[in-house]
Amino acid sequence: MSITTYLIVFGSGLIAGMLILFITHKVSSGDSFHLVGGIGRLFSMVVGIVRRTSEVEDTQEVHAAEVLLSVDPREQKLYESAQAIRNMLLILAANIQRTNKAALESSVVLGDVKSAIDTMDLPTDLREAHSLLMKEIDRVISSNTELKNELSKSQTVLSEQQQQIEDLRTAVRIDGLTQIANRAYFDEKLNEMISLRKRYSDPFSLMIIDIDNFKAVNDTYGHPAGDRILKGVSLKLKASLRGSDFLARFGGDEFIIILIKTDVIAATEVAWKLSEEVRASRFLLDNSSLFLTLSIGVAEARADDTDESLLKRADAALYRTKLGGRNGVSADGV
């Protein structure tokens, strides 16, 4: 092998080694891990604030007797914050994985270069340069190993935080009083079902349920008793539905159900079953027994429906039930 070839090999190896060293130094300088730590601390602060906010809101009594026409803005803000932090953590985790892969690949390449150079019969005047280059390669490989260990620790932290944010996203989609899905979660689910309906043409129906004369319960027995009634009715509805059906508190004393793969005829039968289940139940309030009835409106999703148009038709069916004296079921188009 000529001296020119030796110089090219050593020059290329030296440049590669110094370039990788520079990149590794930048990555492992601590800035990326400071970023992880900063985001972790920010995440912990936000989780703490959200949890404290949720605890305060859970202790407040919910007394609205009218339908909520929009999502509680505080609830929506909590959900959006959780979603934003989740996306940020996912991006950071992806970058850590790429950095880890780059560190591994550079160590492999440098190891190969080192092995190749070690097999060469070098002239005496290049032995010193060879020794320096070997030490530099060893140092870079060692730095890569330390970097990979730090990345592994960061990935563990991020995995834990991602799990916490998933738990938080679930928590902010649950109604604090009844422990079923809230309005924000329902809106998300309904949009998903509308999209699936347009793509696959699978039927589904919507059911809006109103507890008859609920205001009188609050006025007579007090709001804490009314809250107990809401919990009891939600448990009764949930126990009577399939696991695939989606039950949510729509607002105040109204509940809403998405019946998967169910046309309006079958949904109407389910509605009458729920109505009879609640009507036959006795709700205990201290020393008093209370009997309740439900007014229900049903509508099947159409191919051209939006979430707004489907809700409007189900609500119109509910209104007809109330006009007819309550304690019954009306279905759109039936």
Residues in contact with 176: Cβ distance below 8 Å, sequence separation at least 6, in sequence order: 54, 57, 58, 62
Instruction: Extract the runs of DSSP E, i.e. beta strands, from the chain.
Output: 204-211, 246-251, 254-260, 283-285, 288-290, 294-300, 328-331
Q: Can you tell me the distance from the alpha carbon of 193 to that of 197, in angstroms, rounded to the nearest whole number?
A: 6
Residue from 231, 178, 217, 20 nearest 114 by CA? 20
Look up 253 and say whether it is catalytic.
yes
Q: In what order do the strands lie in the sheet with 294-300?
A: 246-251, 254-260, 204-211, 294-300, 328-331
Of the residues 175, 245, 253, 305, only one is catalytic, namely: 253
Q: Evaluate whether 92 touches 158 at the Cβ level (below 8 Å).
A: yes
Q: Evaluate whether 140 touches 110 at the Cβ level (below 8 Å).
A: yes
Q: Can you tell me the distance from the alpha carbon of 158 to that of 38, in angstroms, rounded to the nearest whole number?
A: 12
Q: Can you tell me the distance from the alpha carbon of 157 to that of 161, in angstroms, rounded to the nearest whole number?
A: 6
Residues facing residue 297 across a β-bridge: 208, 330
Query: Residue 63 corresponds to which amino acid?
Result: H
Q: Can you tell me the distance from the alpha carbon of 319 to that of 330, in angstroms, rounded to the nearest whole number?
A: 9
Query: Residue 306 corresponds to which amino acid?
Result: T
Phi-psi region of 297 (alpha: psi -120 to 50; beta: other; left: phi over 0): beta
Q: Can you tell me the distance from the alpha carbon of 292 to that of 280, in angstroms, rounded to the nearest whole number?
A: 8
Q: Evaluate whether 72 touches 176 at the Cβ level (below 8 Å).
A: no
Phi/psi at 282 (5° precision):
-115, 125
Q: Which residue has the tokens 């007014």?
A: 295
Active-site residues: which are they? 253
